[in-house]
Amino acid sequence: MSEPFPTLTATGAAEQRFWRVLKVVLPYAGLAVLIGILSALRYETFLTVDNFTIVIKRSSYVIITAVGMTMVIVSGGIDLSVGSLFAFSGVVAALAVQAGVPVPVAIGVGIATGASCGLLSGLLITLLRLPPFIATLGMMWAVRGLGEAITHGGQTQVVHAPAWKWPYSDLTTVQLGNLVVPIPVPVVLMVVIVLVFSYIMRRTRLGRYTYAIGSNVEAARLSGVRIFRHQVILYTICGALAGLSGMILAAKLSGGAPTEGVGEELTVIAAVVIGGGSFSGGVGTVGGCVIGALLMSFLANGCNLLGIPQEWQKVIAGAIVVLAVAFDQWTNRRTR
Amino acid sequence: MVAVDVHSTPVLEMRGISKRFGGVQALDRVDFDLQAGEVHIVVGENGAGKSTLMKILAGAHRADAGQILLDGRSVHIELPSDALRLGIATVYQEFALAPALTVAENIFLAHEPLRVRPGIIDYRTMNARAAELLERLNCAVLPTAVVSTLGTAQMQLVEIAKALAFRSRILILDEPTAALSEGEIEHLFNVIRQLRAEGVSIVYISHRLEEFAHIGDRITVLRNGRKVETLSMTEATIGRLVRSMAGRDVKELFPKQPATIGGPVLRVQGLTVGKRLLDVSFDLRAGEILGVAGLVGSGRTTLCRALFGLESIDRGRVWLDGRDVTGLRPTRAIEAGLGFVPEDRKGQGLALNLTLRHNVALPSLPRISGRFGVHRAAERALVHEQVRRMKIAAASIEQRTSELSGGNQQKVVLAKWFAANSRVMILDEPARGVDVGSKAEIFRIISESAAEGRAVLMVSSYLPEILGMADRVLVLYRGRLVGDLPAEGLTQERIIHLASVGSDVEASVA
C-alpha cells in the first residue's frame, strides 16, 4: 500500500484474512482435489482429452446460465425460470427454423425469447413489487406451459430442426504436442461469456451497482443507483443467457424439446452457491460459479467412471451443496 | 429499601476480565462491581469494550480470563441461559421481541406457564402475570396487545418486563434512551428509580453524558478495553468524563471555522408533504451551516428526504442555483449537486459487506467511468483523498466497512458526498451513535466543507450540536417552520420552547 493511512488497525486482521482467503480459495481447491483424486483412481479413462472436453462441453450451458444467475443472486434476487426458458427458447427457435427462418436468425429469436421473459420477470418484480422468488416461480410454470402449448400440448417431443448442428459442434482443433484438442463452440461461447461478465461485474458500473443493491438496496438508492431499472436489466440479462443456453441444448438435440431443462434451474443455483454466492445478496463472483458448475460436472463424471449409481450421485451432490453453504456460514462467523 | 453502601459485599464482582477477538484485545483485565440497588453507569467510546463486558456478563460471549462472583461466590456464565438462571437479564439496544406475538407471549417466551405438562399454555395465568409486571413498570399496555402495534418506548418496557419475569436481580440496559423522546426518557428513569428502590441492581450503558446525573450512582469509564476509573456522581463532571473517555482533552467538540456566507444556493418555497411537512420556506446560502431542530416527528427527516427526492411533494418548489430541482429523484438530485447523509447509517448509509473503496466511490461512479468501465486509478485516487481528508482509520481502502468503528463508518458516508463534489449537503443526524473523538472529527469536516463554500443543512436532536455548529437555526413544529433564527445569541431554552410549543416565549405569554 503506497498511500499513507492515519491509523492502521491491522491487529488481528491476520487470522481474519486467513479465513477470508480460505473462503475464496476453497471451491478452487475442492475442484483441484476432486480432479486429483479422480486422476489417481481412473487415470486411463478420466485424465483424457476426450473426457475433459465432454465434461466441460456438457457443463457449458450450465455455466453460461449460472453467470446470469450470479448477477441476479448478487443483487439479492433469484430466477427460478431459467430451466423452463431452456425449453421455451429452444422450441421457439426450432419452430422458427421449421418455418424457414435461417438458423442464425432463429438463434437470435431464441435468445430474444429468453431476454423478453427475463424482462417480464424484472417488470413483475419492480412494478408489481413481487418477491423475485414468486415472480420467477410464476414465470417458471407459465413458460413451461407455453412451451408445451405451442408443441401440440407437449405431444411433439422434439421440434426437429436438423439444419441446426453448428452450435454444438467443434469450432476447430488445436494441436498441443501430440494431443489433438477439439475446441467445441459451446465452450468458446462459455469462455467469452465468462470473461465478458467477469469484467462487467468487477470493473463496470453495472457490476458495482449490482453488488451495492444486493448489499444494501436503500444505501444504493440514496447513492443515486436507479434500482428498478437496474434490476430489470439484470433479469433481462439472466433471461438472455438462459435463452443462449437453450440454443446450445437445442443444437445438441437438433431441435427444441418442451421437456428440456426440468429442474435445471436448481443445478444452476447450486453452481452459484457452491461458488460462494449468498442468498442474502452482495456476495458472489462469476469465477466462483464457473468453479461451482465444473465441480458438479466433474463429480457426476467421476461417479460415472467409478460406477457409483445415479441415485447416490444425487445424494452426494446434495451433501456438497449443504457442506459448501455450511462452510460459508462458518467462515462468516469467524471473520466477524 | 436498600441504600447504596459501597463497602458492603457487592452483588456482582467481575475481576480481571479479558477477551480477545482475533487479534483485537477487546477487554484487558477489567474489574467491575455492582452493589445491591445501585445504578452503575458504564461509559466509553465505541469500541471501548462496554458491550463486550456486558455480553460476557449476559453469557453472549465467554471471557478468556477473569472471574465473575455473585454474592461473593464464583460463578460460571457460559450461555445466556446461565445468566438468566443466575438472575442477570439484559435489554439490548436492538430489541429481541417477536413482533407477531402478544406482549404476554413475548414476556414468557419459552417459559410459558403450562396447564398440563405437554405444552398447553395457561393463557389466563400468563396474561395475569404479565399484567402485574406491566403495572409494576407503570406501563399502560394490554398483555394481549400484539407487539408490532406498540411504540418503541412501550416495546422497551415489555423487554424490561421480560427481564423482570425471571426475577432478575441484575438488569443490564444497553443504550436504553437512544430511541426515546424526552417524555419517554423521563418515564424510563422513573421505572429505573423504582426498580432500584426494590433492590434491583442496574448496569446502564450510555453515550449521553448529560443524562447520567439524573439516574446514576456511580460511573465506570472504559477506554480501549481497559477500565480508566470508577467515579461517584459528584466527581463525574462532563469535562472529566469526556477527558477520561477520549484520553485527551476534547477542547473543541465543535470546531466551527469562520466561513464567508455567500448568496442563496438552495431556495425552498412552500414545501408541503402530506401532513408531515406544511408550507416550509427558507433559503440556504453558500458557506452556511443551517441547523434544523425539532422534536421527533416534527418533520425534520421528511424535509431532508423531500429535498433529496425521496418523498412525493404535494406543493412547493425547490431551486438549486436558480434551477428548479423540485422532487428530482436521487440520481438526478445528485447530478444537480445534492448529497444526503441519512440518519440510519447501517440501514441506509452503507453497504456494509462491501469495501470502503466501493462505498465511497458509489455516487461518483458516473463521473469516473468510461466506455470500458470504472477508471481504477481515478477511483483509487478519489478514495485515498477522502480517507486522508477525513482521517478514516482503516487497514486499507479494501477493508470491508462492516469492520470499521461507528465513527469511521459515518466518515465513510460523509466521504461519499465529498467525493461526489456535492455542493449542498443534507445531513440527518450526522453524529448519531458516534464516539466523542469521531464526533469532533466529523464536525471539523462539516465545518471545513462550509468554509470551502458548500451549503450545509444539518438536522440534529442534540441542541448543543446545533448551537455549536450552525450559523442559522430552523425550528420545526408538527411539520411547520416556526422559527428561522440566527444562531448568535440563541439559547437552548428558546429552541426547546419553540420546538415543543410551536411559538415563541413572548407569544405564548401574550
Q: Give the model confidence (pLDDT) of B425-473 as tens digits.
A: 999 999 877 777 788 889 999 999 999 999 999 998 878 888 889 999 9
Chain B: nearest CA to A204, how far in angstroms? 4
HSE (side-chain half, CA atoms, 13 Å) at A36: 6
Range of the domain at B104: 96-167
Q: Is B475 helix (H, G, I), strand (E, B) or coil?
A: strand
Q: How far is CA A263 from CA A81, A201, A279, B262, in A?
A: 10, 27, 19, 65
- Which of A72-86, A164-178, B72-86 has maximum average pLDDT? A72-86
pLDDT of residue B255: 74
Q: Do B400 and B466 fall into the same domain?
A: no
Residue B353 contacts A where some CB pair is shorter than 8 Å: yes
Whether residue B342 lies inside any domain: the answer is no
pLDDT of residue A9: 42
pLDDT at A3 over 60: no
Q: Do B81 and B123 fall into the same domain?
A: no
Which residues of A are less than 8 Å from B387 in CB distance? 3, 5
Q: Is B450 helix (H, G, I), strand (E, B) or coil?
A: helix
Whether residue A318 lies inside any domain: the answer is yes
Q: How many whole angstroms separate alpha carbon B267 and alpha carbon B318?
A: 6
Locate cell 466497512: which residue?
Answer: B401
Whether residue B3 lies inside any domain: the answer is no
Domain count of the fold of chain A: 1
Instruction: Let me know: does A125 contact A231? Beta carbons within 8 Å.
Output: yes
Q: Who among A3, A12, A219 is closest to B24 (CB)?
A: A12
Query: In chain A, what are the helix, strand and coil shares in percent, each to the nearest 5?
Result: 70, 5, 25
Whether residue A332 lies inside any domain: the answer is no
pLDDT at B510 over 90: no
Q: How far is CA B74 from CA B28, B70, B328, B436, in A?
A: 20, 6, 63, 36
Q: Give me the amino acid identity at B80.
A: P
Interface-testing mutation among A17, A205, A210, A222, with chain B (most B C-beta atoms within 10 A): A222
Flag if A222 and B369 touch (Cβ within 8 Å).
no
Whether residue A118 lies inside any domain: the answer is yes
Q: How many whole angstroms separate alpha carbon B51 and alpha carbon B48?
A: 8
Task: Write out the three cell numbers for A269.
Answer: 443455483
Instruction: Let me know: does B207 contact B154? Beta carbons within 8 Å.
Output: no
Which residues of B are less than 8 Å from A12 in CB distance? 20-24
Which region among A21-30, A39-48, B121-130, B203-212 has the lowest average model confidence (pLDDT)? B203-212
- Which residues on chain A place their C-beta less than 8 Å from a C-beta of chain B? 1, 3-16, 199-200, 203-205, 207-209, 211-212, 215-216, 218-226, 282-283, 336
Which region among B11-20, B268-277, B492-501 has the lowest average model confidence (pLDDT)? B492-501
In this prediction, what percent of chain A has a pLDDT beyond 70? 93
Higher pLDDT, B509 or B147: B147
> pTM for the complete prediction?
0.79
Q: Do B395 and B283 fall into the same domain?
A: no
pLDDT of residue B256: 78
pLDDT of residue A11: 42
Q: How many whole angstroms separate alpha carbon B94 and alpha carbon B175?
A: 10
pLDDT of residue B224: 80
The residues facing B171 across adjacent strands are B89, B202
Flag if B24 and A215 touch (Cβ within 8 Å).
no
Q: Do B287 and B222 fall into the same domain?
A: no
Q: How many whole angstroms separate alpha carbon B75 and alpha carbon B82?
A: 9
Residue of chain B whose alpha carbon sits nearest to that of A332 = B353
Flag if A223 and B21 touch (Cβ within 8 Å).
no
Q: Who among B335, B347, B397 is closest to A218 (CB)?
A: B347
pLDDT at B306 over 60: yes
Task: Write out the three cell numbers for A130.
Answer: 413481487
Q: Who among B348, B388, B402 is closest to A222 (CB)?
A: B348
One-letter-per-residue 3-state SS of B233-291:
CCCCCHHHHHHHHHCCCCCCCCCCCCCCCCCEEEEEEEEEECCCEEEEEEEEECCCEEE
pLDDT of residue A174: 82
Q: How many whole angstroms separate alpha carbon B311 and alpha carbon B302?
A: 7
Higher pLDDT, B418 or B432: B418
Average pLDDT on B175-194 reads: 83
Instruction: Let me know: does A56 contact A236? Beta carbons within 8 Å.
Output: no
Average pLDDT on A193-211 reads: 96
DSSP symbol at B149: G
HSE (side-chain half, CA atoms, 13 Å) at B105: 13
HSE (side-chain half, CA atoms, 13 Å) at A91: 26
In this prediction, what percent of chain B has a pLDDT beyond 90? 51
Q: Is A73 helix (H, G, I), strand (E, B) or coil?
A: helix
Confidence bin at B241 (pLDDT 50/70/90): confident
Locate cell 465545518: which residue?
Answer: B447
Q: Do B62 and B172 fall into the same domain?
A: yes
Confidence bin at A70 (pLDDT 50/70/90): very high
Whether residue A17 lies inside any domain: the answer is no
Q: Do B446 and B305 fall into the same domain?
A: yes
CATH number at residue A255: 1.10.3470
Whether residue B37 lies inside any domain: the answer is yes
pLDDT of residue A134: 97
Flag if B395 and A13 touch (Cβ within 8 Å).
yes
Q: Do B366 and B401 fall into the same domain?
A: yes
Q: Is B355 helix (H, G, I), strand (E, B) or coil?
A: strand
Q: What is the mean pLDDT of chain A?
A: 89
Which residues of B are less than 8 Å from A211 in CB distance? 351, 354, 358
Which residues of A are less than 8 Å from B340 in CB distance? 222
How many other CB atoms are there within 10 angstroms of residue B82's CB atom?
A: 14
Whether residue A5 lies inside any domain: the answer is no
HSE (side-chain half, CA atoms, 13 Å) at A1: 14
Flag if B331 and A220 touch (Cβ within 8 Å).
no
Average pLDDT on A164-181 reads: 80
Q: How many whole angstroms separate alpha carbon A299 and alpha carbon A316?
A: 9
Give φ, ψ of B371 to 5 degrees.
Answer: -65, -30
Domain boundary at B167, B199, B229, which? B167
pLDDT at B316 over 90: yes
Q: How many whole angstroms separate alpha carbon A236 and alpha carbon A113?
A: 10
Q: Do B405 and B426 fall into the same domain?
A: no
pLDDT of residue B507: 46
Between vectors from CA B273 to CA B269 and to CA B274, what angle results, nearest 5°? Answer: 140
Flag if A200 and B331 touch (Cβ within 8 Å).
no
Q: What is the pLDDT of residues B119-136, one digit of tens each?
A: 788 888 899 999 999 988
CATH number at residue B47: 3.40.50.300
Which region among A24-33, A161-170, B385-394 has the lowest average model confidence (pLDDT)? A161-170
Q: Do B103 and B69 fall into the same domain?
A: no
Whether residue B2 lies inside any domain: the answer is no
Closest CA to A281 of A74, A46, A105, A108: A74
HSE (side-chain half, CA atoms, 13 Å) at A179: 10
Whether residue A92 lies inside any domain: the answer is yes
Which residues of B are less than 8 Å from A220 in CB distance? 351, 362
pLDDT at A7 over 50: no
Whether residue A239 lies inside any domain: the answer is yes
**Alpha carbon of residue A94 to chain centroid:** 23
Between vectors from CA A224 to CA A4 and to CA B380, what angle results, nearest 5°? Answer: 20
Q: How many whole angstroms separate alpha carbon B225 and alpha carbon B231?
A: 18
Confidence bin at B23 (pLDDT 50/70/90): low
What is the full DSSP assignment across A267-325?
A: HHHHHHHHTT--TTSS---HHHHHHHHHHHHHHHHHHHHHT--HHHHHHHHHHHHHHHH
Q: What is the pLDDT of residues B373-412, one digit of tens each?
A: 999 999 999 999 999 999 998 888 998 898 888 889 999 9
Closest CA to B26 of B80, B62, B2: B62
Q: Do B161 and B125 fall into the same domain?
A: yes
Sign of the C-alpha dihedral computed for residues B111, B117, B119 and B120 taken in this order: negative
pLDDT of residue B248: 58
Give φ, ψ of B138 to 5 degrees.
Answer: 55, 40
Whether residue B1 lies inside any domain: the answer is no
Q: Who among B24, B308, B351 is closest to A212 (CB)?
A: B351
Domain count of the fold of chain B: 4
Chain A: nearest CA to B472, how far in angstroms? 26
Give φ, ψ of B74 to 5 degrees.
Answer: -70, 135
Confidence bin at B182 (pLDDT 50/70/90): confident
Q: Do B375 and B392 fall into the same domain?
A: yes
Q: Give me the amino acid identity at A200.
A: I
Chain A: nearest CA to B497, how far in angstroms? 34
Whether residue A36 lies inside any domain: the answer is no
Q: How many whole angstroms separate alpha carbon B51 and alpha carbon B57?
A: 10
Q: How many whole angstroms separate alpha carbon B262 and alpha carbon B142?
A: 56
Chain B: nearest CA to A220, how far in angstroms? 8
Residue of chain A whose alpha carbon sits nearest to that of B345 = A219
Q: How far is CA B397 from CA A2, A194, A200, B1, in A?
A: 11, 27, 21, 56
Q: How many whole angstroms separate alpha carbon B137 and alpha carbon B6?
A: 27
Between vectors from CA A176 to CA A173 and to CA A178, what angle results, nearest 5°? Answer: 105
pLDDT of residue B24: 65
The residues facing B484 across adjacent strands are B474
- ipTM score here? 0.84
pLDDT of residue A5: 42
Which residues of A are less than 8 Å from B397 in CB distance? 3
What is the full DSSP assignment across B184-206?
A: HHHHHHHHHHHHHHTT-EEEEE-
Whether residue B149 lies inside any domain: the answer is yes
Q: Who among B352, B359, B393 is closest to A6 (CB)?
A: B393
Q: Who among A199, A215, A218 is closest to B354 (CB)?
A: A215
Average pLDDT on A274-303 reads: 93
Number of H helices, E strands in chain A: 13, 4
Q: Do B180 and B237 fall into the same domain?
A: yes
Residue of chain A whose alpha carbon sits nearest to that of B26 = A12
Which residues of A are less than 8 Å from B27 in CB distance? none
Q: What is the pLDDT of residues A97-134, one digit of tens each?
A: 889 899 899 999 999 999 999 999 999 999 999 999 99
Residue B308 contacts A where some CB pair is shorter than 8 Å: yes
Q: How many CB pairs under 8 A join A and B?
A: 119
Which residues of A are less than 8 Å from B335 in CB distance? 224
Flag if A5 and B393 touch (Cβ within 8 Å).
yes
Instruction: Let me know: does B375 contact B431? Beta carbons within 8 Å.
Output: no
Range of the domain at A207: 42-326
Q: How many whole angstroms separate alpha carbon B485 and alpha carbon B138?
A: 40
